Amino acid sequence: MNKLNNMKKSTKVDFATYLGVIIAFIVITVLMNNGTLGRKQVGLLVPACCYVVMAVSLNLTVGILGELSLGHAGFMSVGAFSGVIAAMSLAEAIPFEPLRLAIAMVAGAVCAGIAGVIVGVPVLRLRGDYLAIVTLAFGEIIKDLINCLIVGHDSEGLHIIFNFKGLKTVDDLGLLPGGNVIIKGAQGATGTDTIASFTAGVVLILITLFVVLNLIHSRTGRAVMAIRDNRIAAESVGINITKYKLIAFVTSATLAGAAGALYGLNYSSLQATKFNFNTSILVLVFVVLGGLGNIWGSIVAAIVLYVLPEALRSVADLRMLVYAIVLILVMLATNSPKMKAVLSRVIPRKKGDEVNE
Amino acid sequence: MSKKFEKPNMVPVPSHSIIPDRDVGKSPILECNHLGIDFGGLRAVDDFNLTVGRTEIAGLIGPNGAGKTTVFNLLTKVYQPTRGTILLDGIDTAGKSTIQINRMGIARTFQNIRLFSNLTVEDNVKIGLHNQEVYSTFSGIFRLPKYWKKEKVAHERALELLSIFDMQDMAAMKAGSLPYGAQRRLEIVRALATNPSLLLLDEPAAGMNPSETAELMENIVKIRDMFQIAVLLIEHDMSLVMSICEGICVLNFGQVIAKGTAEEIQANPAVIEAYLGKKKEA
Amino acid sequence: MEFLSYLISGISLGSVYAIIALGYTMVYGIAKMLNFAHGDVIMIGGYISFCAMSYLNFPGWLALILAMVVCTALGVVIEGLAYRPLREATSLAVLITAIGVSYFLQNSALLIWGATPKVFSPIVEGTQNIGGLSVSNISLLTMAACIVIMVVLTLFTSKTKMGKAMRACSEDKGAAQLMGINVNRTISTTFAIGSALAAVAGVLMCSAYPTLMPTTGSMPGIKAFTAAVFGGIGSIPGAFLGGILLGIIEALAKAYLSTQLSNSIVFAVLIIVLLVRPAGLLGKYVPEKV
């Protein structure tokens, strides 16, 4: 009986999460169509979707696998630029925008997934803070490498050069007449067709939820959580630690790549520095404040924490200061034993939260 | 079974086999020959020889720091032995990893409980079934028919295993919130779920009250009879060891000082000395 | 000759990293937390001495001392208000709080001093000619300061009562408390020392690279942390070695390989070192006990 209730509880939460996303989509679409939302608010929708996917996917690494990653933006970056390259070079071949966007997102996901394997194999051997600092290092390396990238496309196909010494320019691509430059080194991608749409964003969120939630409730997810809870015990029951760590990490990177592609195709110009360490931290804050391992928490935190500071642009200078203070206070309120004691007296304990022994 | 006792320097060790009669004639499940490991200069375990029969309940005892848990860590390849061989069901386990050892048939519990404490009791057992009810990550994400089939089997099997210890009602509880005794029992269930042929229990009765211990003893025998497996256990509770272990091996300072049945061990002067110290010389 | 001058500029840069890394490593060793706000304390130190010199016309040495005093106080206040209540919390919670503190310091600096870079006037000017190489006085001062600080810290942690208390706390806080060590005071002192070092590093760094912005501290902070990990976090000689090596690698990479990728090369070396030696060059790897 107890068991049945519990099964219902976890599926109920998952179901509510899907439903919430769909309802939010319908409400926002209605508001958009009757003109309640201004251009400024509408402009926030696609990036908000991207950050939701980023937060949910990072939660897979940090909350479910239990490894701190400080380089998640690096995978977003790989996805963004490979997505932009794919979309721009297919511009003539596939004029139908939603299809091109979908292909670009798949390309971004695949490239970020490959990057995830390359980074994950060495990194996941390390533990704790060492792993964190190395993911940070990889994130910065990815950013620097993309900064060196010059890419163009013409009738002969893609032209790519790495500008390691900073001496090469777009002229070195040797593009045929009619070709166009997609990425100009440190200037980033310019002149991108902005084909990203809110609908695509919501679809991506739903796909992400489908992958992450189903993964968690499967044999693979259990193995991943077993590694998080007790690595030595997981090994003792025959779980291949490296394999499952890598599955979780690469899935997380892949989803971040898809989000990156959508993000990249939402702006006509984009630089690699956008995806620096601070972006990784921003997403990590979403995950921690939303609750580790709590998927709908990540969604809510990402939306609130992304939209709120943007909405407060009028008080520009103060907003980040306020954000910092709120962040510190929330962390103190939720983690300090004294504050917890005070809070538990104010807010009566939820029923059924505690398991009677 | 031929047994070698190269260390006759202390007291004569009984030379007969400790394998129970019903297992005689069958090949042993575990054979350790001259097993040893050094940590730096320290010989933590040295020249450890042990044979465990197919369905034997064997005990490994000795004072604190004697190297009992180290033996378990050697058997499960948490440490790779410096010397000697371990044969599991006649197969040499040299160079195998902890994971491979589990798949070959050794499962263990831990002295300091190591559960997946944020997961439910049922999930803990299902994780034990990881290599029993197999389907791919892909089937899991896309919920292919294999997922539903295997999950159903895993669910039923988990409840069945939990029912050995009467824990099926706790299936939905978080493992970390269980009382201490139940956590120890859950660890045994999880180990059993991996379908072992040899179960290693590291102080299964630690922290249990006498009635819980008595129940545990019954259950260990029950498990052995149900699954027809061998059990090797480390325990400080002598009432448990002496009443259920058919063969007992006593370890002190990393070396075997005695082997035999409960009566033989209790009468062995070397064992008494190891536990109580030397009598004052007159 | 060219190589030598690159090497010296690398050692000088590395000395700055080493000074920051020494503070980082002490704080990590004792509080077991990634103090992301450490880099921003460097920046505050830079601004304080900048203000002291340009508005109050303080001489360089006095500005340095003022910066050290302010940063020490700042470090102690940050520890007491933001980190102390989280002593029992998960390391991730502390990390996020540290990030919050870092945002707070950066944005406060932005409000007070604005986004436009300030031009910092070096506390020491001029150059020396050593064997045909011209080396700036600030480089010499940085290197000397680094060596002095490292020696003093080593003596402090091994000889003094407080230093021993610090080492005890970093091994086992509970046991240290049972031995009558005031853990909170010890951690406070560690933060004070770390922040004072950050101020010194800030002033020296701004003297060598004279632009000062609210974000000035973050990259050196991250790199110094890298240096500390590189050398083996928690180890004082490790932080020194890691800092110097990192500076040399960065300077040589900039000179001979690629300016754009110099940071990446530094990070790549860190990754390789950690893969070969998971606890850094001088760190001890302690496997988990089963």
Following DSSP, what letter does each residue of C128-189 receive, concatenated?
EEETTEEEEHHHHHHHHHHHHHHHHHHHHHHHSHHHHHHHHHHH-HHHHHHTT--HHHHHHH
The Cα A257–Cα A105 span in angstroms is 8
Three-state secondary structure string covering chain A: CHHHHHHHHHHHHHHHHHHHHHHHHHHHHHHHHCCCCCHHHHHHHHHHHHHHHHHHHHHHHHHHCCCCCCCHHHHHHHHHHHHHHHHHHCCCCCCCHHHHHHHHHHHHHHHHHHHHHHHHHHHCCCCHHHHHHHHHHHHHHHHHHHHCEEEEEECCEEEEEECCCCCCCHHHHCCCCCCEEEEEHHHCECCCCCCCCHHHHHHHHHHHHHHHHHHHCCHHHHHHHHHHHCHHHHHHCCCCHHHHHHHHHHHHHHHHHHHHHHHHCCCCCECHHHHCHHHHHHHHHHHHHHCCCCHHHHHHHHHHHHHHHHHHHHHHHHHHHHHHHHHHHHHHHHHCHHHHHHHHHHCCCCCCCCCCC
Q: What is the pLDDT of residue A1?
A: 44
* Residue B282 clears pLDDT 70, i.e. is over it: no
Chain C residues with beta carbon closer than 8 angstroms to that of B110: 290
The token pair at A24 is: 């939010």
Indicate if the pLDDT at residue A88 is higher than 60. yes
Residues B2-22: what's their mean pLDDT? 46
Burial environment of residue A339 by CB neighbours within 10 A (0 to 12, 13 to 18, 19 or more) = middle
Window C:4-43, CB contacts with A under 8 Å: 28, 34
Q: How far is C33 from chain A (nearest CA, A)?
A: 9
| Set of chain A residues whose Cβ sits within 8 Å of the Cβ of C100 | 324-325, 327-328, 331
Q: Is A2-311 CATH 3.40.50?
A: no
Contact A137 C86 (CB under 8 A): no
User: Could you tell me what percent of chain B has a pLDDT over 70?
Assistant: 91
Instruction: Kindly tell me if the per-residue pLDDT of A130 is higher than 70.
Output: yes
Which chains border B (3 or more CB–CB pairs < 8 Å)? Answer: A, C
Cβ <8 Å between A147 and C92: no
Q: Which residue of C has its CA nearest to B78?
A: C290
What residues does B233 pair with on adjacent strands? B59, B201
- In the numeric block, the tokens 């503070």 are attached to C23
CA-to-CA dists, residue B183 to A5, B68, B125, B174, B278, angstroms: 22, 22, 12, 10, 38
Could you tell me the pLDDT band of residue A331, with boundaries at 50, 70 and 90?
A: confident
Poorest-pLDDT segment among A326-330, A336-340, B71-75:
A336-340
Q: Do A327 and C86 touch (CB under 8 A)?
A: no
Q: Is the CB of B140 less than 8 angstroms away from the CB of A218?
A: yes
pLDDT, position B11 = 37
Average pLDDT for residues C198-227, to the nearest whole number? 89
Q: Under DSSP, is residue B47 helix (H, G, I), strand (E, B) or coil? A: strand
CB–CB contact C95 A68 (8 Å): yes
Q: Please name the residue that has the structure tokens 């009619």.
A: A178
For β-strands B57-61 and B247-252, DSSP reports them as parallel
C215, pLDDT greater than 60:
yes
Residue A303's identity, in one-letter code, is I
Of B191 and A153, more confident: B191
β-strands B106-108, B198-202: how paired? parallel
CB A103, CB A94: distance < 8 Å: yes
Those of residues 79-138 in C touching chain A at CB distance below 8 A are: 82, 85-86, 88-93, 95-97, 99-101, 103-104, 106-108, 110-111
User: Average pLDDT, stretch B243-271?
Assistant: 89
Q: Which of B88, B101, B118, B138 to mutate to test the interface with A (most CBs of A within 10 A)?
A: B118
Tokens standing for residue A173: 């691509």
pLDDT of residue B143: 93
Q: Which ranges in chain A are annotated with CATH 1.10.3470?
A: 2-311
Q: Which residue has the higher pLDDT, C262 or C124?
A: C262
The reply to whether residue C85 touches residue A336, judged by beta carbons under 8 angstroms, is yes
Subunit contact B193:A237, Cβ cutoff 8 A: yes
Residue A314 binned pLDDT confidence (cut-offs 50, 70, 90): low
Q: Check if B115 contacts A (Cβ < 8 Å).
A: yes
pLDDT above 50: residue B5:
no
Residue A2 has pLDDT above 50, yes or no: no
Q: Average pLDDT in the A37-65 region?
A: 92
Size of interface B-C (CB pairs under 8 A): 4
**Residue A353 — very low, low, confident or very high, per pLDDT cuts 50/70/90?**
very low
pLDDT at C102 over 80: yes
pLDDT in tens, C113-150: 988 888 888 887 788 887 778 888 888 899 999 999 99
pLDDT reported for residue A351: 41
Q: A230 and B117: CB-CB below 8 Å?
A: yes
pLDDT score for B8: 38
Report how far residue B112's alpha carbon sits from residue B281's, in angstroms, rounded to the nearest whole number. 39
| Residue A347: pLDDT band with limits 50, 70, 90 | low
Pairwise CA distance, residues A235 & A250, whole Å: 21
Confidence of residue A34 (pLDDT cuts 50, 70, 90): confident
Interface A:B, Cβ pairs < 8 A: 113
pLDDT > 60? residue A357? no
Q: What pLDDT is recorded for position C187?
A: 92
Asked if the model's pLDDT at residue A208 lies above 60, the reply is yes
User: Which chain C residues have a beta carbon less than 8 Å from that of A148?
Assistant: 258, 260-261
CA C212 to chain A, closest CA, distance in angstroms equals 19
**How is chain C split into domains, by residue range?**
18-214
Q: For position A64, what pLDDT does the model report?
A: 95
Residues 6+ apart with CB under 8 A from A276: A73, A139, A140, A143
Q: Phi and psi (nearest 5°) for B196?
A: -85, 165
- Write the DSSP symbol of residue C255: I
Res C6 pLDDT > 60: yes
- Give me the pLDDT at residue B213, please: 92
> What's the whole-number mean pLDDT along residues B207-215?
90
Instruction: Tell me what pLDDT residue A30 has.
Output: 92
The interaxial angle of helices B180-193 and B121-128, nearest 10 deg, is 30
CA nearest to C223, candidates C269, C191, C183: C269
Residue A188 scores a pLDDT above 80: yes
Lowest-confidence segment of A165-174, C176-185, C259-268 by average pLDDT: A165-174
What value does the mean pLDDT take over residues B244-255? 91
pLDDT band for A322, please (50, 70, 90 cuts): confident
**pLDDT of res. B189:** 96
More reliable by pLDDT, B18 or B134: B134
> Chains contacting C with at least 3 CB pairs below 8 Å?
A, B
Check pLDDT > 70 for residue B279: no
Average of per-residue pLDDT across C82-96: 87
Q: Would you list the domain boundaries of chain B?
A: 1-105+196-282, 116-193
Question: Residue B137: its chain A contacts at CB < 8 A?
Answer: 215, 218-220, 247
A211·B141 Cβ contact <8 A: yes
Mean pLDDT over C267-290 rounds to 82
CA distance A235 to B76: 10
Residue A57: predicted pLDDT: 97
Tell whether the model's pLDDT for residue A217 goes beyond 90: yes
Percent of chain C with pLDDT over 70: 99
**pLDDT over threshold 70, residue B2:** no
| pLDDT of res. C116 | 87
Mean pLDDT of chain A: 87
Report the top-level CATH class of B1-105+196-282: alpha beta
A138, A284, A337: residue with CB nearest C88: A337
Query: So what's the ipTM on this one?
Result: 0.87
Is C290 within 8 Å of chain B by CB? yes
C57 CB within 8 Å of a chain A CB: no
In sequence order, the 6+-apart residues with CB closer than 8 A to the CB of C197 are C19, C20, C22, C23, C149
Nearest residue of chain B to residue C288 (CA atoms): B78
Quick check: A7 pLDDT over 70? no
Q: Is C275 on the interface with A (CB under 8 A)?
A: yes
Judged by average pLDDT, the poorest of A17-26, A302-311, B77-86, B130-139 is: A302-311
Average pLDDT of chain C is 89
Sign of the C-alpha dihedral computed for residues A173, A174, A179 and A180 taken in this order: positive
**Mean pLDDT: which of A130-134, A262-266, A285-289, C206-210 is highest?**
A262-266
Indicate which of A57, A213, A219, A246 best probes the interface with B, i.e. most B CBs within 10 Å of its own CB.
A219
What pLDDT is recorded for position A9?
Answer: 72
Residue A5 has pLDDT above 60, yes or no: no
Contacts of A237 in chain B (CB under 8 A): 102, 107, 127-128, 130-131, 190-191, 193-194
Say yes or no for a CB contact (<8 Å) between B137 and A2. Answer: no
Mean pLDDT in chain B?
Answer: 88
* Token digits of residue C228: 């500390």
Q: Convert the pLDDT of each residue in B43-59 to its tens digit.
A: 899 999 999 999 999 99
